[in-house]
Structure 1
Amino acid sequence: MIELPLRELPSYLRWFPSGTAGPTSLAEHVLATRTGRLWADRADRPRTVAITCAGHVLLSGDPGALQPGALAPLANRYVLAPARFLPALGSAFDRVVPWERMVYVHAEAPARPRPPRGVTVRRVVEADATALAVLGADSAWIQASWGGPARLAGSGHAWGAFHRGRLLAVACTYFLGSRYEDIAVVTVPEHRREQLALSCVVALCAGVEARGRTTSWTCSRYNRPSRLLAWTAGFRLEREYVHYATGTPTTKGVSGSRKPAAPVGGVSGA
């Protein structure tokens, strides 16, 4: 596949879902934030189109039109595609691992928990970019869908728990859709089980509602802590789906791209 300029994305939005909860809002997010990449099997009248952002992929079109090796740019990513693409994915990569996922929608507003003494829960602002950046490599995925800590900090779509200037937990919109905002949350390991993530999520959900949208939450079926946090924060299950973790391209002479960061909570819970 070849990369197309993002300015052409509006022409291909009809290929992808709109106004839906969960990672299917990825196309709308890329359009709104200009963080992501647009791919097609050819520049003129493409038959297969893909959108990538933060290691996630939406794939649409006719898999029968793909040439061998065409899907190589989608290596080591999480692909959401119609079932008709499974044979093409299976032949393109050395492994294609199904991953069962769950989409929750915010339905109830719980009481906002009281943070521990000395901790302030507030909106993340531009000046907090450094605090986001020093969360560590294991938490870097939380910034990926915005293109880095500076852009997330300046987005107005994140809430954090701070103690003496240090960011202990952050919840943010991960995929910004027209009707739904699919969110993510991460807490530094030594401050888990202090309800910091819950405090940030509750505050973020209030902000999403004030913007006239609904909050959604996506995680792995097997991520019990993420599912429990979602339920406690007032989310209820809407649907289940499967996306596919791809491996290295099998076509001779085609090298794989970098492996995406492994998310651990919220929108992309492990």
Structure 2
Amino acid sequence: MLTVTAGDVEGMRPFFAPERPGPMVFGHVATTGRGIVAVDRWPGPRVAMAQVGQDTALRGDPDHLSPDAFAGAAAFLEAPPQWEAALRNIDPALAVWPRIIATLPAGAHLPVSDAVLLGPDDVPGLAALPADIAWIHETWGGPEGLALARVARGYRVDDELVAVAVPFHIGSAFEDVGVVTAAAHRGHGRALTCAAAVLQDIRDRGRVPSWSTSPDNPGSLAVAARLGFVHHRDDVLYAINLPSPDDSH
């Protein structure tokens, strides 16, 4: 795959239109500059791939997806159903991860939140997050990238950052929320507190919040319901060279 130059990324938008709530990998790359867009050939691409961290979106003609497109690399793939056969040719053990996508209605009332806006001074706290929740800063290039973006909200206990919410994917019309809480601090409403603050930030930017989770994650579903999210669609992600993961947001 050939990496598209930064100046040509915006021209790839028609491949990924229309934007939908949920994982907006291309939108995040185009909006934040994090990640890459790659194609099978240039000019005249037939396959377009947007990627940030392990999150990947595929569009175009699956018949032209190269068998070595992933070269053994692991990825969570968002793609239309017609891509499954081509992906399974690459990884016969391809896992299908059911997802629920919800959106926040304009009239939903958000609770008052005391979650703090994280900034450059919070790099050490983000870097110290337990390994099982460190994925929260992946789409921002790591702890420093997320801190410098000033888009994350956090909750501290005794100066320890124990919960974080972020716009995990930012598109042109929607922002998809990710939220984590350290295991020892779950069950106290801290995920809800952080998420509520991020949702208000998203509204202030003029975009619609979305929430992506799996049907077997009752904690995430409960937080989304308390915040006022409503079901938008059922979807799947494909896990290539990976098992279907345990969800935590």
TM-score by length of 1: 0.85
Aligned to 2:127: 133
Q: Is the 8 A contact 1:159 1:200 kept in 2?
A: yes
Q: How does 1:48-59 map to 2 (within 5 A)?
A: 48-59=47-58
Task: Confirm whether residue 98 of structure 1 aligns to residue 96 of structure 2.
Answer: yes
Task: Confirm whether residue 8 of structure 1 aligns to residue 8 of structure 2.
Answer: yes
Task: Confirm whether residue 235 of structure 1 aligns to residue 222 of structure 2.
Answer: no
Task: Confirm whether residue 205 of structure 1 aligns to residue 199 of structure 2.
Answer: yes
Deviates further, 81-90 or 233-242: 81-90
Distance verdict in 2 for CA 1:37–1:188, change over 3 Å: same
Q: Distance in 2 between matches of 1:47 and 1:155?
A: 33
Q: Is the 8 A contact 1:76 1:260 kept in 2?
A: no
Q: How does 1:12-91 map to 2 (within 5 A)?
A: 12-23=12-23, 25-67=24-66, 69-73=67-71, 75-91=73-89
Distance verdict in 2 for CA 1:73–1:146, change over 3 Å: farther
Aligned to 2:171: 177
Shift in Å, 1:44: 2.7
Distance verdict in 2 for CA 1:7–1:165, change over 3 Å: farther
Q: Distance in 1 between matches of 2:72 and 2:27?
A: 19
Q: Distance in 1 between matches of 2:73 and 2:49?
A: 12
Q: Which amino acid aligns with 1:76?
A: A
Q: Is the 8 A contact 1:18 1:178 kept in 2?
A: no
SS at match of 2:137: helix
Q: Is the 8 A contact 1:89 1:96 kept in 2?
A: yes
Shift in Å, 1:220: 1.0
Structure 2 regions of 5+ residues with no counterpart?
A: none
Q: Distance in 2 between matches of 1:71 and 1:221?
A: 30
1:131-174, CA deviations, whole angstroms, 9 ceiling, x for partnerless residues?
Answer: 11101221210000000111111212111101232111011110
1:208-242, CA deviations, whole angstroms, 9 ceiling, x for partnerless residues?
Answer: 11111111100112111111111112111111112
* 2:213 aligned residue (210, 214, 219): 219
Q: Percent identity?
A: 30
